[in-house]
């Protein structure tokens, strides 16, 4: 089948035996032409990952070896990764932890986390995740090893302002009688945006830089009076915020000068600012120029407006915390 509107042609070449359709698209104008191809395969089946066997929560005394299985299947064959308190873990012979994965002939993959000699420090919340391009599935469970409380070191956390912060205290040791969070010596919660759960999870809603950027301490205790603690440094990042702008009038005459100023009044640096017209990034158009002033401002200038400059112009500001956009429409008076 062919569709022709004098500038675009699309042709479909079917291969009935394999249920494959190859699409060829041709585009041309007076100066140049381009083409692209795409393949559509019908009748193919993909199966998202699913677990056949998973490890169970267990409590044990220190000394014995431990093997935790995660066996999954799917089409395509999934990849299995392991996490301890949401931090990815890999084989570490010096720590007595090894991970082995084996692929089967039927789309199965068997992954095992092995601990040579279980110690209190090996305890915690483990999770395995099986993923492929068509989906993912996860399973988690605790391994508790008898011993005094131990809280793992925590990496600094960056949170976007206005979002919800969730962190679980990485506690080991068994049994643990109490887990609390503190800030500057005060036990949380200290306001209605904070929630602390008995499993050591801390949730702070609508995070604010002025109030929530600080050092937090998790303290774990047992009935024998022993305790352990670890600090978490939290920094709050603000996404960009653009000052509204426009072209100054609803309609601009041809041959006139037009300009837009994109100013980012809030947001952590570094900030990247780009311009686009009708969704296409402005980079090499000789009739338009962009100029960055400092780290928070960019100018878009059109020295001589033509009708082809009509459309919606968008400024896009991005930093590690997020993306902000603002748009203005240019209407040109004339044919």
* Residues 155, 99 share a domain: no
* 81 SS3 class: strand
Tell me the pLDDT band of 11, cut-offs 50, 70 and 90.
Answer: low
- What is the span of the domain harbouring residue 78? 47-145
d(CA 66, CA 52): 20
Encode pLDDT of 228-245 as tens digits: 999 999 999 999 999 999
DSSP state, residue 282 = -
Higher pLDDT, 108 or 20: 108
Encode pLDDT of 128-186 as tens digits: 999 999 999 999 999 999 999 999 999 999 999 999 999 999 999 999 999 999 999 99
* Residues 130, 53 share a domain: yes
Which of 10-19, 164-173, 218-227 has the weakest average pLDDT? 10-19
Q: What is the pLDDT of residue 8?
A: 53
Q: What are 122's strand-pairing partners? A: none
The CATH number covering residue 313 comes to: 2.60.40.10
Q: What is the pLDDT of residue 78?
A: 94
pLDDT greater than 90 at residue 124: yes
Number of domains in the chain: 4
CB 275 within 8 A of CB 292: no
End of a domain among 203, 237, 271?
Answer: 237
pLDDT greater than 90 at residue 298: yes
Using CA atoms in the order 61, 63, 65, 70, what is the torsion angle rounded to 10 degrees? Answer: 40
Q: What is the pLDDT of residue 17?
A: 42
Q: What are 97's strand-pairing partners? A: 92, 115
Tell me the pLDDT band of 107, cut-offs 50, 70 and 90.
Answer: confident
Q: What is the pLDDT of residue 51?
A: 97
Q: What is the pLDDT of residue 171?
A: 97
Give the other-Cβ count within 10 Å of 259's Cβ. 12
* Residues 123, 86 share a domain: yes
Q: What is the pLDDT of residue 9?
A: 56
Encode pLDDT of 64-100 as tens digits: 999 999 999 999 999 999 999 999 999 999 889 999 9
Encode pLDDT of 38-53 as tens digits: 766 555 578 999 999 9
Q: What are 235's strand-pairing partners? A: 158
* Residues 87, 70 share a domain: yes
pLDDT greater than 50 at residue 1: no
Higher pLDDT, 39 or 315: 315
Half-sphere exposure of 26 (CA within 13 A, CB side): 10
Q: What is the pLDDT of residue 37?
A: 74
* Residues 118, 86 share a domain: yes
Q: What is the pLDDT of residue 16?
A: 45
Tell me the pLDDT band of 13, cut-offs 50, 70 and 90.
Answer: low
pLDDT greater than 50 at residue 249: yes
What is the longest distance spanned by two Cα atoms in the chain?
86
* Residues 104, 127 share a domain: yes
* Residues 129, 111 share a domain: yes
Mean of the per-residue pLDDT values of the chain: 90
Mean pLDDT of 283-312: 91
CB 220 within 8 A of CB 202: no
Q: What is the pLDDT of residue 106?
A: 80
End of a domain among 80, 112, 145?
Answer: 145
* Residues 164, 136 share a domain: no
* Residues 247, 224 share a domain: no
Percent of the chain having pLDDT more than 70? Answer: 89
Tell me the pLDDT band of 24, cut-offs 50, 70 and 90.
Answer: confident
d(CA 63, CA 50): 33
* Residues 305, 245 share a domain: yes
pLDDT greater than 70 at residue 21: no
* Residues 130, 58 share a domain: yes
End of a domain among 203, 220, 237?
Answer: 237
* Residues 81, 26 share a domain: no
């Amino acid at each position: 089948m062919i569709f022709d509107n004098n500038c675009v042609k699309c042709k479909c070449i079917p291969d009935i035996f394999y249920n494959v359709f190859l699409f060829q698209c041709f585009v041309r104008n007076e100066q140049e032409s381009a083409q692209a191809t795409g393949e559509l395969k019908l009748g193919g089946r993909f199966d998202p990952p699913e677990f056949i066997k998973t490890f169970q929560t267990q409590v044990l005394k220190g000394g014995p070896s431990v093997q935790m299985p995660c066996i999954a299947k799917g089409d395509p064959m999934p990849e299995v990764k392991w996490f301890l308190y949401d931090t990815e873990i890999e084989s570490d012979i010096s720590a007595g932890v090894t991970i082995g994965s084996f692929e089967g002939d039927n789309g199965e993959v068997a992954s095992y986390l092995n601990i040579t000699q279980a110690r209190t420090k090996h305890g915690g919340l483990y999770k395995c995740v099986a993923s492929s391009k068509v989906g993912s599935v996860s399973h988690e469970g605790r391994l508790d090893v008898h011993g005094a409380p131990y809280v793992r070191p925590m990496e600094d956390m960056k949170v976007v302002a206005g979002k919800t912060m969730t962190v679980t205290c990485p506690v080991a040791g068994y049994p643990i009688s109490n887990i609390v969070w503190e800030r500057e010596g005060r036990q949380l919660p200290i306001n209605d945006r904070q929630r602390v759960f008995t499993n050591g999870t801390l949730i702070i809603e609508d995070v604010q830089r002025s109030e929530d950027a600080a050092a937090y301490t998790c303290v774990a205790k047992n009935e024998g009076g022993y305790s352990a603690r670890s600090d978490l440094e939290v920094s709050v990042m603000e996404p960009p915020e653009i000052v509204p702008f426009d072209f100054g009038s609803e309609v601009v005459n041809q041959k006139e000068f037009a300009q837009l100023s994109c100013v980012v009044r809030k947001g952590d640096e570094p900030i990247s600012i780009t311009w686009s017209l009708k969704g296409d990034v402005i980079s090499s158009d000789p009739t338009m120029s962009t100029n960055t002033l400092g780290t928070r401002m960019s100018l878009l200038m059109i020295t001589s407006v033509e009708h082809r400059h009509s459309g919606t112009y968008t400024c896009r500001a991005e930093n590690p915390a997020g993306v902000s956009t603002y748009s203005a429409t240019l209407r040109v008076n004339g044919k």
